[in-house]
Amino acid sequence: MSGKPSDAELRARLTPEQYHVTQEQGTERAFTGQHYRNEQSGKYLCVVCGEQLFSSAAKYDSGSGWPSFWEPVAAQKVEARADRAHGMIRTEVRCANCGAHLGHVFDDGPKPTGQRFCINSASLDFKPEPTK
Residues catalogued as catalytic: 118
Which H or E run contains 77? none
Q: Is 28 helix (H, G, I), strand (E, B) or coil?
A: coil
Stretch that binds Zn ion, among 9-17, 82-90, 99-107, 114-122 (CB under 5 A): 99-107
Residues 6+ apart with CB under 8 A from 123: 18, 21, 22, 46, 47, 48, 95, 100, 101, 102, 103
Single-letter amino acid, residue 91? T
Stretch that binds Zn ion, among 7-15, 62-70, 73-81, 93-101 (CB under 5 A): 93-101
Report the residue from 10, 100, 119, 124 that binds Zn ion according to the rule CB under 5 A: 100
CB of 94 to Zn ion, least distance (A): 8
Residues of span 14-53 touching Zn ion by CB under 5 A: 46, 48-49
CB of 61 to Zn ion, least distance (A): 25
